[in-house]
Structures are given as structure tokens and as C-alpha cells.
Structure 1
Amino acid sequence: MTEPTREAMEYDVVIVGAGPAGLSAAIRLKQLDPELSVVVLEKGSEVGAHILSGAVLDPCGLDALMPDWREKGAPITTAVTEDRFLLLGEAGHVRIPNWPMPPLMNNHGNYIVSMANVCRWMGEQAEALGVEIFPGMSCSELVWGDDGLVKGVVAGEFGITAEGEKGPNYEPGMELLGKYVMLAEGARGSLSKQVIARHGLASAAEPQKYGLGMKEIWEIRPENHKLGQVTHTMGWPLGKNAGGGSFMYHLENNQVFVGFVVHLNYENPYLFPYMEFQRFKHHPEIAKVLEGGKRVAYGARAITEGGWQSMPRLTFPGGVLLGCAAGMVNVPRIKGNHNAMLSGKAAAEAAVEAIHAGRAGDELTAYEADVRSGPIAADLKKVRNVKPLWSGYGLTASLAFGGLDMWVSSLTGWNPLGTLKHGKTDAEATGRASRHTPIDYPKPDGVLSFDRLTNVSFSFTNHDEDQPSHLKLKDPTIPVRWTLPKYAEPAQRYCPAGVYEVIEAEDGPRFQINAQNCVHCKTCDIKDPAQNINWCTPQGGGGPNYPNM
């Protein structure tokens, strides 16, 4: 297919992704200079459509960005009233007292929110300031200049058929060019991956680590509802098979967020993260809350878990990485939205300073310095050893030694354990099938637990089927020829949306990709042992349509 001719539009700043990081950057840019031209490009059908987060929000990021957010009517109203930490066994639990927890684990002053709705509100605030926001505009390519300069992005290419040809309604898209380009794509962003690789941004960092977060919204009986209660659990059903845990947050309207996170560095390729989530809901402590209720939404996404030591360099010629694109999640707190907002604010301030000085296309080193020495650093440095301890030595060591390390760091600013390393990538951590035993999972009962395809219908996912698959195999023969015999093709199980299947045909097994099911979690791009699957953006507007996630 010949390279299309595209029109170009020029802006002062181009932002990819209308999540908390990208919208914070847009708002701050216009706060500082209303005359700047700022555009935000969002691949979801609307702002918030692809936003999935726990979420208990630490408002410090929003306080710094918009101190009057309460007066402006932000959808942030349910304050945390109770914190519970439970260690689960198969039939019972032990409550971990709150008093030994480091102060940073205290949720007093935080809020249970739908980040999808918070982002919708932030989008309204940005547009009121004059920011142009274009939803349904996937950014499929970077526009490169000399010496690796990122000049802009290509957005809005439509009408390529499933055969890879230009269809009758083909639109070539546009080049949106900026003095600076801010990538706020979230975890494992497709453009961010390219920039990180081309400029070696991660060469001095530890491998990035990830978790798979799955979430359901339930409407429960009023007598089971405890507004503002926050519960986190560890232990069963994962045990020694994988790291991870759960959350249950009681928000308004007799709803609860029920979520489950599996760290993607697990070894056993037979582990089925989605089924671990479904089994978890049958624990007596969880089931008693959900019984008599109904699930109304489902979704999943990858979470960056590497923390401080895995953050790549944040700047490159012509742009920056923001928020989860760089990995700013505080893993023990299960929070990253506040750091995403702070990163957007810091990047905007560096960009405005540069533009006012007549600069463009250089590296915004002031942004890097702010992140490495400011509130984001203070947040992430304290907890930097919890994840590697958990991965290397298990839950008990993580609780004991990780807790001690966090306590000392909180009090003194010094981590007695230094900075521990992560070692392998999550793909490299996958073990051979011959060394592990298949896991027998109970069949979903259709009341508390559900099969994947039924649940995916509650993510309201939709893709135009007449387009090329956005899940690209570098070598189409590898799944059956290599991954299936060596690893029992774990894509059948690690995908929380049933995208990948191994079909037994007369002439042997066949690897099938059901791209229309994809909820854009990007787990396949992360966990595939052969690193043979490349997640790319589909044509604009496709994917989940989360209402209140």
C-alpha cells in the first residue's frame, strides 16, 4: 500500500491520550498561557470510554492543578470512611491491623471515584479553557524528523479493509504537528514503546513490570452496602501461584467496585488470571456482600508496577512521556492517578517555559528534573522495594521487610534496602509447561462468577470488523510451532477477554485471534513468552465503552 498524502495541522502542543495525565497537561498549559494552541487526541469513542482504574483517588494531584475542583463540581464526593486489609484463606480471613501500616497506606482524606467520570469532567474543564479534544482519533504513527525528533503524530486514518486495502470510505488521516508532543497513552502505549526503543530511554532502568487488573461494578442490596468502605485483600486464591490481590470499594448508589490484580511475572503458564478473579468472588467475605446483587459492568487493563527503578528517561527530542506511559503507579497504595496528574502539570510548566523562550523540538529537561526530585519522586522512592521483594521472596517477606523499608523511608527519607532490582521481564518469567501442572478451575455459576465472553459484553466493546487486526503477529507460525508445545500457549488464558484461541482442526491446531473482543488491556503485548504479539491501535473509536469505570 503506497504511503498516503496527508494534510497537516500545527499546534503548540499535541497530547496523545485523554486520561488524567494528558488532560492535566492540557489544562495547565491553558492556565499558564491561554493563547497556546493545544490539542488532545483520544482513541476511545469519547473521553473516559477507555479509562479503567480502581479507584481510590489521592486528591493531591488535583489540588495542585485545580484547587477549586470542589466548587467546580468535580464528581468526587465519596470520602473513604474505613480502611480494611485482609489476608484471605480459602474459607476464612485474618484482618491485618491498620496501626502497623506506614502512614502512606492510610486512605484518610482520599475518595472513591469513577476515574472515567473524573476524566469526562476534566475534559469539560479543558474545553472550557480552549483545549481542542478529538475523541475517536487513534494515533497510528509518529511523525519523525531528523535525528529522532518527534514532530507530531498521525491520527484519524480510517477505511483500511481487513485485507489491508484502502476501502471506498478511506480517510488518510492527518499529521498533527507540535512544538512538543506529550505521550499520555497509559500502560504499554504503542507510540511510547516506539520512542522508548528508538531513543534507548529504558537503557539505564530496570525492566518494567506489570499487573493485570480486572474490575466489575456491582449493584448490591442496601443492607450490604457500607458507603466509603475500602477493603484490600491478599492471599487466596493466588497463594504461591502468583502475586496480586483484590479491592472492594463501596461508592454511592449502592454500588461497589470489585477488582482483582494478578502480577504478570507468574511462572505457571496454566494460570488463568480471569478465572482466579471469578473464583475470588466466592470467598465468604466477598460473597456475602455480592449475594442478591447484580454485575453491571466489566473491564480490564494492564497496570505498570515497576515503580521508581523501572521508570525510563522521560524526555526525548520533541516530547515527553506522562503518567502510566512512564510507569508512575505506587504499587502498595494501588494508586497512580495523582502522579499522572502531577506529571501532566510538570510537563506543561516545562513546555510553557520553553515555548516562551522561543524553543521547540528540544528535550524538556526541566520536566525530568521535576519528576526526579519533586512529589512524584517522594511518593515512589518510599515504596520502591515492595514489588521486587514480593516477586523474589513472596508475600510474607514483602509484608515484613517491605513494610520496614517503607516505615524507615517515610520517617527518614532513606531506604535501608537501597534499590532492589526486578531482574526478568514478565515475559521471561513464564515457565515451561512441562515443569508445571494444569490448574482445574471451577465452572462459573452465572450468579457470582461468569464466563469471559459474557463478561466482555458488559464492557460494551465494539470494533469495526472490516479492518486489519490490531493484534499483529511478528511471525504467524510461532504460536502453534513454538509457544504451544513449550508453554501450552498461555495467550488462551492470560487474555481477560477471550481474544486468543487454539482451535483443533483436522490438519492440526490453529491459532485464532478474535480481535473484536479486545478491551485494550495490552496483556498480550507484555506476557507473550516469544514477544511475538504487537498491540497496535485499531481504527479510531473501537474498543471498550466504559460507562463508570
Structure 2
Amino acid sequence: MSEISREAMEYDVVIVGAGPAGLSAAIKLKQLNADLDVVVLEKGSEVGAHILSGAVLDPSGLDALIPDWAEKGAPITVPVKEDNFYMLGEAGQVRIPNFVMPPLMNNHGNYIVSMGNVCRWMAEQAEELGVEIFPGMACSELVYGDKGEVKGVVAGEFGLNADGTQGDGYEPGMELHGKYVFLSEGVRGSLSKQVIEKYALDNDSDVQKYGLGMKEIWEIDPEKHKEGTVTHTMGWPLGSNAGGGSFIYHLDNNQVYVGFVVHLNYENPHLFPYMEFQRFKHHPMVAELLKGGKRVAYGARAITEGGYQSMPKMEFPGGALLGCSAGMVNVPRIKGNHNAMLSGIAAAEAAVVALNEGRSGDELNGYEALVRTGPIGKDLKRVRNVKPLWSRYGLTASLTLGAVDMWANNLLGLSVLGTLKHGKSDAAATGKAIKFDKIDYPKPDGTLSFDRLTNVSFAMTNHEESQPAHLKLTDVDVPVEVNFHEYAGPSARYCPAGVYEFVQEPAKPTRFVINFQNCVHCKTCDIKDPSQNITWTTPQGGDGPNYPNM
């Protein structure tokens, strides 16, 4: 749509995404130079609407950014008081003693939070400093300069018809230009994906790996509630079918976060991650906790799991990749928000140096080094072998070898295993259906477990149905001719929102249907589709989930 005429606005720094990374960058830029023009563009209807995280927050990132966050009223008020690790079997559990866990696994000093609410508070701090924040402004395109550098983004395009033509109320959006553009879109961001490919930023990095995280908020019986308790489990119900585990966090107001993560490198295409989550809640330990309670919210998102060796180059002409756009989650700790914040700080520091030198549109030399040799790199490097060990040898062996490797890193500052590689992408790991048995999942009971569409209603997701589907197929024939016949149509299962279905009617060919209005923006389809035939793009601004307290 290069022929469309758009107005342009000029800024010193344009930031895409109002998550912890983007907001930290905005705040730090204004702390370092109050005269800078900084804008943050957020695709959600409000800041926090698309934020979903566990979350037990390591406050180190916020400590570095706003040391007096407590005095300023940050919604971070539930310190971790108790830390539990369990290995589950179908009928019982075995607790793993805390003393055998490496010190980095200790959650004391951390806080149980809603990252959506933390980001809402951070946005207030940014606006007080003079940052412009525009929610409901999806960034649909990159704008390039004369030298091939990223010059800005197109944001706020509305009113396209389903076929992509301009509707009666069409608004072309605006071009927002920056001397530097920060992409802090979170996992598998659509613009970040383009930039990584265009500039071959991943040429020297390992393949990126992902998990699918699903989460419910429950209000439980006050007698069972233990504010500040953190519980993680591994084992049942996944067994050998897939890697992953659960989290149960007791926050305030008798609420509990119940979450489940499935590593997306599973082979059996019959695996149904959402139903594994629902089955998990019927474990005696979990069922007893939730009995008499009610589910009040649901959501899902992908998680970057590749770690240190999978981070691409983070500097590109005209900007930088921040946070999970590059992949900064510490997998065994199930934490990345602190690193996202620290990456925003590092990018801001590098940008201010460049701007003070009169530079623009070039690579932010120094940002990469700050990430890889600073606290982010140190955090990720010492756990870099946990994920590849789990992928190669399964849960039991990886627990032993991973613990040894983490202890060696903690005590000696080195890994006894060097740096292991991940192998295949998650899409390529998917096996042909004929090689695997189908998995029989119990029907949800409507009390502890729920069908997908009922749960999706608790994500409060909404998309204007007259717009083009934001889930794009490279080849419209592949879903049925390849994925359905060879892989048993895995998109009907790996999507945690019921977006994809294969419709079979008597005497008619199988049809592939995309219910894009159900999408919760987890981006699993973009990652796990075995043919890599689905591309997730941004719908018009404000559309998608509306998470209140995730």
C-alpha cells in the first residue's frame, strides 16, 4: 500500500509495544534527557490489555529503573513467603527439597504480581516524565529510509474490508518516524520477525525455541488461600509426551494464578496443550485447592525458551530488539520481566549516547554488549543448557544434568557441558500423525475444567469481524492437503483459543476455517504450524484480548 498518502510525525525514539521492555526504555530515555521526544505505541485497547505473564517478578530490573517504586505506589505488594517444587504422578506428588535446587531458583525476595497492572503503573510513570503513549495503535508496517534503515512504523490504520480493500470509514493511519525505533513487541512480534529476516540477525544464533503458557485466575476458599505461596510442578499429566510444567501463585484477595506451560517442541501432533492444562487441574492436589472456587479469567501466550544461545543480533540499522522480541526468558526460573526491563534500560542508554553524538538511523553500537555482558547475559548464560537437555533427554535426566550444570555455573562460573544446541525448530519437531497414537482427553466437567470457547470468553477478546483476517496463509491449500492429511490437523489443537477448525460435512471436501475473532494473540500458530504456512499479523488497533489483571 505504498501509494497511500499518510501524514508523518517525527520523534527522537519510537517504541513499539507498551510492555515492561518498551516502557522501561521510555522511562530511562526521559530520565537521561528530559528534552527527548519519545512515543510508545501499543496495539491493545489500553496499556496492559495484552499483557499476560505468570508472574513472580524479580525486582532487579525495576530497582535499576525506579529505585523508589514502593514509595511511588507500584502494584507490587505480595512478597513470596513460601517456595514449593513438586514432581507429580497421576494420583500423588513428591516434593523436591529446596536445598537441592540451585540458589538462582530461590524466589524469596521476589513478588507475585499482575504484570498487566505493573505495566499500567509504569505507563503512568512514563507519562509523568513526558512520554507520549498511544494505546489502540497497532503498528502494521515498517517504514524504511533511503539507506535501507528502519525509519519508523505505520500505526493506526483502520477500516479495511474483509478483502483488504478500503471501507467507507477507512483511515490510513500515520507514519511515526524516529531517529531510532525500538521493537518491544513481545514473543514472535510481527515487525521483529520481519527485521530479523531482512537483516539476517539470526545468522549466528541457534534456533529459537518456544513454549505455550496458559493461565487462569481463580478466586478460592479463603481457608485454603496462603498469600505469598509459590508452587511449581513437573511430570503429570504431560509425561513423555511433552516438556513443561505448572505454576500456582497465591496473590492477595483470595486469588490464585493457575498456569500451565507446554514446550512447543513436542512430536505427537495429537497432543492438545489446552486439554493437558484442563486435565492438570484434576490432580488431587490441585483439585482440592480449587474446590469451591471459581475461575474468573483466562488467557494464553507463547514464551521464548531458547535462552542465551538463541538470542539474535539485537542491533539493526535504525533500531534495536528489546525484551522477548529477542528472547530473554530464564527458562528454569520462568522469569523474563526483569530482563525485559534491563534491556529497555540498556537500549535507552545506548540511544542517548548516539543521539548526543548527533547520530541517527545507524546501529546502536553498545546495546548488544550491554545485554550480553551485563546482568541479562549473566542471568541467561548460566542456565543455557537446561532447555536443550530437557529436549534431548527428557524430564528426569534433564533435572539431574541441568541441576549439576546450574550448580557448576553458580559455584565455578562455568558450564561443565559447554553450550549445547537446540536442534530442530518447534515446527520441524512435529511428527507425522501415522507414527503416533491418538490421545484420549476427558471431557471438561464445567467446574474444574472448561471447554476452550467457554474459557476464551473469559479473555474478553474481541475483533471487528469486517476487517481482513490477521492470520495469513501463505498457501490456502496446505492446511487440508498437507497438515490435515499428514499431521491430523494440529492447528485445531495447538491453538489455545479454538481459532482453527477442520469442518467435515457429508459428501463435501474438508474445509479449513479460521475463526480469527477468537484469537488471544498468543502466536502459537506462527511458531508450531508444521508447514510454517501461518503468519500472525496485527489486527486493527485495540482488537484482541482485554486482560484486566493478568
TM range (shorter): over 0.9
The 5 Å alignment of 1:283-362 reads 283-362=283-362
Cα displacement (A) at 1:90 = 0.2
Give the aligned partner of residue 134 of structure 1. Answer: 134
Q: CA deviation at 1:2?
A: 6.9
Counterpart for residue 367 of structure 1: 367
Could you tell me which amino acid in structure 2 is paired with residue 339 of structure 1?
A: N
Q: CA deviation at 1:164?
A: 1.4
- Inter-partner Cα distance in structure 2 for 1:219 and 1:4: 50
3-state SS of 1:492 partner = helix
Equivalent runs, 1:82-101 vs 2, <5 Å:
82-101=82-101
- Equivalence map 1:136-535=2 (5 Å): 136-505=136-505, 506-535=507-536
CA distance in 2 between counterparts of 1:339 and 1:23 reads: 13
Unaligned regions of 5+ residues in structure 2, if any?
none
Offset at residue 200 of structure 1 (A)? 0.5
**For residues 469 and 546 of structure 1, what CA distance do their matches in structure 2 show?**
21
Question: In structure 1, what is the Cα distance between the partners aligned to 2:255 and 2:546?
Answer: 19
Alpha-carbon distance in structure 1 between the residues aligned to 2:2 and 2:154: 16
- The Cα offsets for residues 117-147 of structure 1, whole Å up to 9 and x where unpaired, read as 0000000000000000000000000001234
In the superposition, the TM-score normalised over structure 2's length comes to: 0.99
CA distance in 1, matches of 2:482, 2:332: 36
**Equivalence for 2:17:** 17
Q: Distance in 1 between matches of 2:309 and 2:349?
A: 25
Give the Cα–Cα distance (whole angstroms) in 2 for the partners of residues 89 and 146 of structure 1: 60
> Matched residue pairs, number?
549
Residues 32-59 of structure 1: per-residue CA shift (max 9 Å, x gap): 0000000000000000000000000000
Return the alpha-carbon distance in structure 2 between the equivalents of residues 260 and 148 of structure 1: 42
2:543 match: 542
Say if 1:206 and 1:310, in contact at 8 Å, map to a contact too. Answer: yes
Quote the offset at 1:336 in angstroms. Answer: 0.1
One-letter code of the match for 1:525? D
Letter in 2 for 1:269: P
Cα separation, 1, equivalents of 2:410 and 2:177: 43
5+ residue gaps, structure 1? none
In structure 1, give the amino acid aligned to 2:168.
P
Equivalent residue letter for 1:527 = K
Aligned amino acid, residue 69 of structure 2? W
What TM-score do the two structures reach when normalised by structure 1?
0.99
Give runs of ≥4 in structure 1 deviating > 4 Å.
none
RMSD between aligned residues: 0.7
Cα separation, 1, equivalents of 2:530 and 2:3: 33
CA contact (8 A) 1:148 1:199 kept: no
The equivalent residue for 1:30 is 30
Residue 412 of structure 1 deviates from its aligned partner by 1.8
Cα distance in 2 between the residues matched to 1:291 and 1:50: 29
**Which range moved further: 156-165 or 116-125?**
156-165
1:281 Cα shift? 0.2
Determine what percentage of the aligned residue pairs are the same residue: 76
Show the counterpart of 2:72: 72
Aligned partners of 2:195, 2:6: CA distance in 1, in Å?
Answer: 22
Deviation digits for residues 205-228 of structure 1 (CA, Å, limit 9, x no counterpart): 110000000000000010010010
What is the SS of the residue equivalent to 1:406? helix
Q: Give me the whole-angstrom Cα distance separating, in 1, the residues matched to 2:541 and 2:252.
A: 33
SS in 2 for 1:266: coil
On the 8 A contact 1:452/1:497 being kept in 2, the answer is yes
- SS of corresponding position for 1:344: helix
Partner SS, residue 39 of structure 1: strand
Partner Cα separation in structure 2 for residue 35 and residue 347 of structure 1: 17
SS state of the match for residue 298, structure 2?
strand
Q: What residue identity is the alignment partner of 2:532?
A: Q
Structure 1 counterpart of 2:484, which letter?
L
What is the CA-CA distance between 1:318 and the residue it aligns to?
0.4
**Residue 372 of structure 1: CA displacement?**
1.0
2-side partners of 1:191 and 1:373: how far apart? 26
Letter in 2 for 1:253: N
SS state of the match for residue 146, structure 1? coil
Question: Deviation string for 1:285-321 (max 9, x for gaps)?
Answer: 1011100000000000000000000000000000000
Q: What SS class does the counterpart of residue 223 from structure 2 fall into? A: helix
How far apart, CA to CA, are the structure 2 residues paired with 1:242 and 1:511? 26
Q: Which amino acid aligns with 2:306?
A: G
Q: CA deviation at 1:410?
A: 1.0
Q: Distance in 1 between matches of 2:148 and 2:245?
A: 41
Alpha-carbon distance between aligned partners in 1 of 2:483 and 2:254, rounded to the nearest angstrom:
45
More moved, 390-399 vs 451-460: 390-399
Q: Does structure 2 retain, via aligned residues, the 8 Å contact 1:20–1:337?
A: yes
Equivalent position amino acid for 1:240 in 2: S
Residue 148 of structure 1 contacts residue 198 of structure 1 at CA under 8 Å; is this kept in 2? no
Aligned to 2:493, the other structure's residue is in SS state helix
Q: Cα deviations across residues 251-294 of structure 1 (Å, max 9, x unaligned)? A: 00000000000000000000000000000000001011100000
